[in-house]
């Protein structure tokens, strides 16, 4: 049985994909340097998968894992707009050089299809919503440029080297296991932690910026569909839900779900931020069979319950440690 490789498989999207692949009976190999990923995300799967703690910047390490693989899902990245502005070099090296290494290893090692996690940030600010794949990209941050270069490489590796590739532009994915511990964390993971700890979040700007928040299981379904679809190689598809919520609406909805009143703090707008983001899903529906199953509110509720359980587990563990000290 041949290998399914997931780069970034210890991240929150990657680990959800690993679970789905195991459910299909696949043999899964994870490549992850654990910079933002975490082995806890794969905890109960440890004896069913092979984890390679390698960095995608190291071609010699990753090439033998990728060679001959049936499918390669390339999710490893330094996934942050502000980090790419504060520290552009590591972000460039992981997101462009690392991505090139993955495509090169797949082409030279005659792997099957590579499904690449591209980003909605490639669009930048567009005059029209929703955003359609035929619009000209207008990246506003190093991160957006880097993710766009990956798309161009995906398409060129198909055209020049006949490596099967498909790019999916992720739109603000959220869900269980998204790491809330960094200032660079996705906004919903930060909002949820604030909500459960009864703290006010900080909203950058006026909070009227909007996002097409997409539940992780819908993205995983699309990754699997992109892995099997015919006639899609070299192409780029939006991987979004098709909806749009402002941060103010989102924080209000979370407070309503939890039955609390915690007015947000407001800070200066964040450099490189896109104002509005919403996916046109037409091409993904037509060519990949995309069918989002989770409304925003359903996804929020499921994710909130996961954070609540995880917080309770941490509190129980901390209480256990305290009682040992006595």
Q: What share of the chain is helix, strand, coil (3-state, %, to 5)?
A: 45, 15, 35
Choose which of 87, 202, 295, 315 interacts with ligand UD1 (CB under 6 A): 202
Q: Which residues are catalytic?
A: 143
Distance CA 22, CA 235 (A): 27
Nearest residue (CB) to ligand UD1, 59 versus 306: 306
Helices and strands per DSSP (H, E), number in the chain: 11, 13
Residue owning tokens 């340097």: 33
Could you say which of 8, 79, 137, 240 contacts ligand UD1 (CB under 6 A)? 79
From the list 9-17, 35-43, 267-275, 296-304, the region that binds ligand UD1 by CB under 6 A is 267-275
Taken as a whole, the chain contains a residue count of 326
- The answer to whether residue 273 forms part of the interface with ligand UD1 (CB under 6 A) is yes
Q: Provide the minimum distance between the beta carbon of 154 and ligand UD1 in the complex, in angstroms, as a whole number.
A: 16
Which lies closer to ligand UD1 via its Cβ, residue 54 or residue 143?
Answer: 143
Question: Is-contact 123 137, C-beta < 8 A?
Answer: yes
Number of residues near ligand UD1 (by CB under 6 A): 22
Site string for ligand UD1, 89-128 (x = CB under 6 A): ------------------------------xxx-------
Q: What angle do CA 141, 57, 237 make, to 5 degrees?
A: 50
The minimum distance between CB 249 and ligand UD1, in angstroms, equals: 12
Q: Contact between 194 and ligand UD1 (CB under 6 A)?
A: no
What is the token pair recorded at 178? 């998204």
Give the three-class secondary structure for 51. strand
Does the footprint of ligand UD1 cover residue 170 (CB under 6 A)?
A: yes
Minimum CB separation of residue 269 from ligand UD1 in Å reads 7
Tokens of residue 236, six digits: 């780029």
CB neighbours of residue 36 within 10 Å: 21
Do 132 and 185 touch, CB atoms closer than 8 A?
Answer: no
The residues of the shown chain that bind ligand UD1, judged by CB under 6 A, are: 79-81, 119-121, 170, 172, 186-187, 190, 201-204, 209, 211, 247, 270, 273-274, 277
């Amino acid at each position: 049985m041949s290998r399914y490789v997931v780069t970034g498989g210890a991240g929150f999207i990657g680990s959800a994909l690993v679970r789905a692949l195991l459910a299909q009976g696949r043999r899964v190999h994870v490549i992850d340097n654990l910079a933002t990923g975490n082995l806890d995300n794969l905890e109960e799967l440890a004896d069913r998968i092979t984890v390679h703690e390698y960095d995608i910047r190291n071609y010699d390490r990753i090439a033998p894992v990728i060679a001959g693989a049936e499918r390669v899902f390339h999710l490893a990245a330094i996934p942050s707009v502000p980090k790419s502005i504060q520290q552009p070099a590591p972000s460039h090296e992981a997101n462009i050089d690392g991505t090139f290494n993955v495509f090169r290893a797949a082409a030279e090692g005659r792997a099957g299809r590579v499904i690449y996690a591209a980003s909605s940030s490639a669009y930048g600010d567009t005059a029209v919503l929703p955003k359609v794949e035929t619009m000209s990209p207008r990246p506003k941050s190093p991160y957006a440029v880097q993710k766009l270069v990956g798309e161009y490489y995906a398409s060129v590796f198909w055209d020049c080297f006949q490596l099967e590739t498909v790019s999916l532009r992720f739109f603000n994915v959220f869900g269980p296991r998204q790491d809330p511990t960094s200032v660079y964390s996705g906004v919903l993971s930060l909002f949820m932690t604030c909500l459960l700890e009864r703290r006010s979040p900080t909203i950058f700007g006026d909070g009227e910026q909007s996002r097409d928040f997409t539940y992780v299981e819908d993205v995983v379904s699309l990754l699997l569909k992109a892995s099997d679809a015919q006639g899609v190689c070299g192409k780029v598809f939006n991987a979004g839900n098709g909806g749009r919520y402002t941060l103010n609406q989102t924080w209000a909805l979370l407070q309503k779900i939890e039955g609390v009143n915690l007015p947000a703090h407001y800070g200066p707008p964040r450099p490189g931020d896109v104002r509005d983001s919403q996916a046109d899903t037409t091409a993904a529906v037509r060519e990949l069979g995309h069918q989002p199953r989770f409304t925003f509110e359903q996804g929020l509720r499921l994710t909130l319950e996961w954070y609540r359980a995880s917080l309770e587990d941490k509190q129980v563990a901390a209480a256990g440690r305290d009682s040992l000290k006595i």
